[in-house]
Amino acid sequence: MIFIKIIISIAILCITSYIGIEMAKSLKSREEILTDFITFLRMIQNEMVYMANSLPVSFEISRQRLSSKLKDVIGAIALDISEYGSNKVDMSITSNVNTLEELNDYDKDIIISTLKNLGRSDIDSQNNIIENAITIVQKQIKEANTNKVKSSKVYKTVGVITGLIIVVIFI
C-alpha cells in the first residue's frame, strides 16, 4: 500500500513539474517568435527593395529561413495570397496569426497590422512600415525577455510546490 502511495506521489510531482516547465517554455517561445518576425521583416525588406519580388514570392522566400511556428503561419498566408489574391488576405492574416498561442494580443495586433499594410503602398512607405514595426517588436522582445526571466523560475517552482501540496493533502 505504501509503495502505491509513493508511486502516485512521484507521478503527481512529475506531472505538476512538467506543467510548470511547459508554461516556462511558452514564455521562451514568445521571444523566439518575435525575434523571427524581425528576421522575417528584414528579409521582406531586402526582397522588395533589392530583388523587386512580389509580396507572395517575398513571403515564401523569406519564410524559408525562419525557425519558429511563425514559418508555418507565414507559409499559409503566402499560399492564401497566391490562391485568392487580395480578396481574402486580411481574413487569412488574422486567422493564421491568431493561431500563435504563445503571443499576447498586442503582439498579434502588431504582426497583423504590419502584414496587412504591406503591399498597399510604394516601396518607401513599406520600408517605413517595416522599420516602425521592427522598433515596436524590439520593445516587445525586451518585455518578453524580462517577463521570461521573472516568470519562468516562478512557473517551475509553482509546479513543484503545487505537486508537493497535492501529495501532502491527498496522500
- What span, in angstroms and rounded, lies between the C-alpha atoms of 117 and 72? 20
pLDDT at 86: 66
Helices 2-46 and 105-117 pack at an angle, to 10 degrees, of 30
How many Å from the N-terminal Cα to the C-terminal Cα in the chain? 11
C-alpha cell at 55: 509580396
Read off the pLDDT of residues 17-61 as tens digits, 9 standing for 90 and up. 888 888 888 778 888 889 999 999 998 888 877 877 777 778 788
pLDDT at 110: 92
- What span, in angstroms and rounded, lies between the C-alpha atoms of 35 and 157? 27
pLDDT at 4: 85
Read off the pLDDT of residues 86-118 as tens digits, 9 standing for 90 and up. 667 888 888 888 998 888 899 999 999 988 888
H helix intervals, 47-85: 55-63, 70-84
Mean pLDDT of the chain: 84
- What span, in angstroms and rounded, lies between the C-alpha atoms of 5 and 13? 12
pTM of the model: 0.79
For the chain, domain boundaries: 2-170
